[in-house]
Amino acid sequence: MACKIKKNDMVVLLAGKSKGQQGKVLKILSEKKILVEGANLVKKHVKPNPQLNQQGGIMEREAPVDISNVAIYNPITKKADRVGFKVLDDGRKARYFKSNGELIDAK
């Protein structure tokens, strides 16, 4: 199954404590979980590690977000949008915005 949201896509959070925030997808963890830059921040207590020259303390980092709680950001309409797939004339499969039909990535 092709994923509708990919790494480096701009997304909008639809639910949770970071609702309405925009961010770039940093990592796809599984079919259902992603990491979004600057969204769903949690405090993590970290032990110091002198071998890695890492300082201990309370760090803020992104926690995974369910993929159903994000939608891709459409820069033309400046809103969250749904994604569809269409087969181009040369046989390639491409993602497009459902609201206006614009292609997301024409590779």
**What is the per-residue pLDDT for 106?**
53
Residue 57: pLDDT above 90? yes
| Residue whose C-alpha is closest to residue 11's, from 85, 86, 69, 84 | 69
Assign residue 53 the CATH number of its domain: 2.30.30.30
> Does a structural domain hold residue 53?
yes
> Does a structural domain hold residue 45?
yes
Q: How far apart are CA 97 and CA 9, in angstroms?
A: 13
CA torsion through residues 65, 76, 8, 29, sign:
positive
Residue 107: pLDDT above 50? no
The domain in which residue 17 lies consists of 10-76
Measured between alpha carbons, how far is residue 25 from residues 5, 45, 48, 56, 57 in Å?
Answer: 8, 24, 28, 27, 26
Q: How far apart are CA 28 and CA 14, in angstroms?
A: 18
More confident of the two residues 3 and 26? 26
Going by pLDDT thresholds of 50, 70 and 90, the confidence category of residue 101 is confident
> Does a structural domain hold residue 1?
no
- Predicted TM-score (pTM) of the model is 0.80
**How many domains would you assign to the chain?**
1
> Does a structural domain hold residue 55?
yes
Mean pLDDT of 53-68: 93
> Does a structural domain hold residue 82?
no
> Does a structural domain hold residue 99?
no
Residue 105: pLDDT above 80? no
Give the chain's end-to-end CA distance (angstroms, integer): 19
Tell me the per-residue pLDDT of 4-22, one tens digit each, with 9 for 90 and over: 899 999 999 999 999 999 9
